[in-house]
Amino acid sequence: MPSYLAEIVAAHRAAARADHRDPDELVARALAADGAVRPFAPALAERAVGGLGVIAEVKRRSPSKGDLDPSLDPAAVAASYAAGGATCLSVLTDRDFFGGSPVDLAAARAAVHLPVLRKDFTVSAADICDARLMGADAVLLIVAALSDEELTELSALADRLGLDALVEVHDQAELRRALDSGAGLIGVNQRDLSTFRVDPERAVALAAEIPDGVVAVAESGIGGPEDAERLAAAGYQAVLVGESLVRSAERTAAVAALAGHRVSPRAAQHAGERR
C-alpha cells in the first residue's frame, strides 16, 4: 500500500480498534435510523441517459494540496453545486487529514435534495453504520485499503443498510478485485497514491474493462469541461470533482460546465471473462 494511504488507513484502523461499541447494537441502530436513503448509484445511471453526471465534493483541505477553503459553509457550497446541476454530493468527513466532519455532511445534505456520499477511509463495519447514522446515502470503499474479505463484507453491510458503495480502484488488478466482489458502482481514481501525481490516461485506459451494467465514475485531476468531455467519451457516467470546484470563484457555473456531456457506450471488452 502506498505510503500516504498507509498512514491514513493505519490511523483509521487504530481508531477502529479503539472503538468498543457493541457491533450488533450499532447495526441495529443503523437499521432503525430515521429518514429514507436517497438513491445514489441509480441517480447517476439515470442522469447519464441525458449526459454526464457530476458528483461535486465538499472538501476543506487535502494532504497533497493543503488548505482549499477551510472556512467553507458546507450548506452554501452544496446549494451552489445543486444550482449548477450536480447529480450527487461527496462530503469529506475525515477530520485529521482533510479537515472534514460528520457535521459537514449533515449540513450539506440538509441544504439540498441530492444523494450524498460519505467520503472517508472505511475500514470497519462501524464506519458503515456511522455513515448511515450521520445521514449518508453512500460510502467509499477503497480496494487498495481493504482485503478481499473486508471488501465483500463491508459491501454486503452497506447493501443491508440501504447504502450504495462506491468501490474505488487505481489499476486493472484492483478493478478485477472490485468486480469479483460484485461491485455495481466503481470509481477509477486517476491519482497515483504513492506520488500524488495525476495520470489523465488512467481512467480512459480502464474504461473498456468495466462491464455494462456497472456505473463508472472517474475521479481526481478533473479540472474543466475538456476533461469531463474526454471521460464521458470514454464511457464514464459521472465524474467526481473536488479541488477545482472548491477553488472556483463561480462554483455553480463550474459544475454546469462539467455536466451534460454525451456519454459514449463502453466497449467492455473483457466483461465476459469475469462473469
Which residues participate in catalysis according to the annotation?
57, 59, 119, 168, 189, 219-220
From residue 101, give the alpha-carbon distance in Å to each of 21, 95, 151, 199, 203.
20, 6, 24, 29, 29
Question: 62 phi and psi, to 5 degrees?
Answer: -145, 155
> Which residue shows C-alpha cell 451552489?
80
Alpha helices (H) along the chain: 3-17, 23-31, 41-48, 74-83, 102-111, 125-134, 148-160, 172-180, 202-207, 225-233, 243-247, 251-258, 271-274
Report which of 76, 78, 88, 103 is spatially closest to residue 38, judged by C-alpha positions.
Answer: 88
Distance separating alpha carbons of residues 189 and 186, to the nearest angstrom? 10
H or E segment to which residue 185 belongs: strand 185-189
What is the residue type of 143? V
118 - beta bridge partners?
Answer: 91, 139
Distance separating alpha carbons of residues 234 and 182, to the nearest angstrom? 22
> Which residue shows C-alpha cell 486493472?
172
Distance separating alpha carbons of residues 200 and 35, to the nearest angstrom? 39
From residue 86, give the alpha-carbon distance in Å to each of 35, 53, 56, 64.
22, 7, 6, 25
What is the residue type of 225? P
